């Protein structure tokens, strides 16, 4: 077993705490400014970028690294708000599609400026341009490693 050095442990703890606090802050800001949890915003973003603003529910679960039941619950809430509708997937009787409605697109567009401001305030602006470049490089390395 290779234990973490003191510096590695300190870095790990700082990274873990900072990432949890950042996601919590972004979620609270989105709730306050956009009227939805950050996870719902992320689903709307994914749907807005999908062809015909439509995606399979199973793909949404995969893209968000969520359980299908969690995506189903979130889409239920988005459907209740009129932001998403469900449709049967033509090629699969058990498969469902989530479709972003015009009302959902409008909700996304209304929430986006607040989200960008929150990301800028809590992630981008505290870092120097060099640190932001390093964070991007590090994040892409971790993403590549974790999605293999």
Which domains are assigned to the chain?
A: 21-146 (1.10.10.10)
Q: Report the predicted TM-score, pTM, of the whole model to 2 decimal places.
A: 0.89
> Is 43 buried (19+), middle (13-18) or exposed (0-12) by CB count in 10 A?
buried
Of 18, 26, 23, 15, the closest CA to residue 138 belongs to: 15
CB contact set of 29 (below 8 Å; sequence gap of 6+): 114, 115, 117, 118, 122
The C-alpha atoms of residue 42 and residue 55 are separated, in whole angstroms, by 13
CB 47 within 8 A of CB 54: yes
Residue 88 reports pLDDT greater than 80 = yes
pLDDT per position as a tens digit, 61-83: 999 999 999 999 999 999 999 99
SS3 56: strand
* Lookup: tokens for 29: 């800001």
Residue 92 reports pLDDT greater than 80 = no
pLDDT per position as a tens digit, 41-62: 999 999 999 999 999 999 999 9
Residue 94 reports pLDDT greater than 80 = no
- The phi and psi torsions of 65 (rounded to 5 degrees) equal 55, 40
How high is the pLDDT of residue 91? Answer: 73
């Amino acid at each position: 077993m290779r234990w973490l050095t003191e510096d590695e442990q300190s870095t790990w703890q700082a990274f873990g705490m900072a990432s949890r606090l950042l996601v919590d802050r972004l979620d609270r800001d989105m709730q306050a400014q956009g009227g939805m949890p950050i996870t719902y915003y992320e689903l709307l973003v994914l749907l807005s970028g999908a062809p015909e603003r439509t995606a399979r529910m199973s793909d949404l679960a995969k893209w968000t690294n969520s359980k299908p039941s969690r995506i189903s619950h979130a889409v239920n809430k988005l459907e209740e708000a009129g932001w998403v509708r469900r449709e049967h997937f033509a090629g699969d009787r058990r498969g469902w599609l989530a479709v972003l409605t015009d009302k959902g697109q409008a909700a996304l567009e209304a929430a986006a400026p607040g989200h960008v401001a929150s990301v800028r305030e809590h992630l981008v602006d505290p870092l120097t341009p060099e640190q932001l470049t390093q964070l991007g490089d590090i994040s892409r390395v971790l993403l590549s490693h974790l999605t293999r």
